[in-house]
Amino acid sequence: MAFDAVIEVRSVSKRFGGLLAVNQCSLEVERGSITGLIGPNGAGKSTLFNMVAGNFPPSSGEIIFDGQDITGLKPHELFKLGMLRTFQIAHEFSNMTALENLMMVPGDQPGESLTTLWFQPKKAATREAEVRQKALDVIDFLKLGHVKNELAGNLSGGQKKLLELGRTMMVDAKIVLLDEVAAGVNKTLLNDLAANIERMNKELGYTFFVIEHDMDLIARLCDPVIVMAQGEVIAKGNMDELRANPMIVEAYFGGPVEAHA
């Protein structure tokens, strides 16, 4: 089967004044994969991730998403194309319930228009019922039923991360960018979070691109894993292969392989 890339980064560089943060990077994320991006502090991985996500444009190079050149597009434009990002710190609407948070995600709902509410109330009500049912299905999938009516601001860090993962399920995402999902999450909920990412990938066909410092989580979820150092991609493989590579151990793990087995 031919390699089917949903994201292609082609010779991308990023300069901040005199600092070259990313230098001629090229990588691909295969459709249906959970691809990890790792590297030591200062490697340029967050900068590259932010360019893919549309937070700032590359200084040179191209980024292709699902066959379309998206270089320089903004996050809201990428959202409409099917690229969604979760954040290290969850961005929930704290004074709305978990269920209401999910219902807020789909755009262009008829109920957002006063004209439609006044002149086509049935259309607005029908669409709202559809969105509500979708949100209930997502809550059921993520096993968050016990907190569906809880204000999102009262949820634990791990529950907020699950809720944010659920928000990606409310639209037809072609890829989900996961940004430090393990941050602030206890071990039990992290296991639930990882299991749900695996289920979304295997059962629903979601593609994930993951930046993460938790190597155990990367090893569990990701194949392949892309390694960056000093602004460049230096290797790609599964975690077993990378841990056996002396150059990667030196550049990333900072010591003998045995110390990180």
CB 63 within 8 A of CB 51: yes
pLDDT per position as a tens digit, 226-249: 999 999 999 999 998 998 888 787
pLDDT digits (tens, 9 = 90+) for 74-116: 999 999 899 999 877 778 889 999 999 999 887 554 444 555 5
As a whole number, mean pLDDT of residues 32-53 equals 94
Helix or strand (DSSP H, E) at 84 = strand 83-86
Percentage of the chain beyond pLDDT 70 is: 88
Tens-digit pLDDT profile for residues 136-195: 999 999 999 999 999 999 999 889 999 999 988 998 789 999 999 888 888 888 999 999
* Residue 136: both structure tokens together: 């209930």
- Domain extent listing, the chain: 5-91+169-260, 93-154
Element (H, E) at 236: strand 232-237
pTM: 0.85
Q: Let me know: does 231 contact 23? Beta carbons within 8 Å.
A: yes
| Positive/negative CA dihedral, 84, 89, 90, 93 | negative
Dihedral, 62, 65, 70, 76 alpha carbons, nearest 10 = -140
CATH 3.40.50.1820 at 5-91+169-260, yes or no: no
Which pairing describes strands 68-69 and 60-65: parallel, antiparallel, or unpaired? antiparallel
Copy the structure tokens of residue 196. Answer: 């749900």
Confidence of residue 259 (pLDDT cuts 50, 70, 90): very low
Long-range own/partner contacts, residues 181-188 (CB < 8 A, 24 or more apart): 181/86, 181/210, 181/212, 181/217, 182/212, 182/213, 182/214, 182/217, 183/88, 183/89, 183/213, 184/89, 184/157, 184/158, 185/157, 185/158, 185/161, 186/156, 186/157, 186/158, 188/158
CA–CA distances in Å: residue 183 to residues 86, 158, 211, 238: 12, 9, 11, 22
pLDDT of residue 118: 52
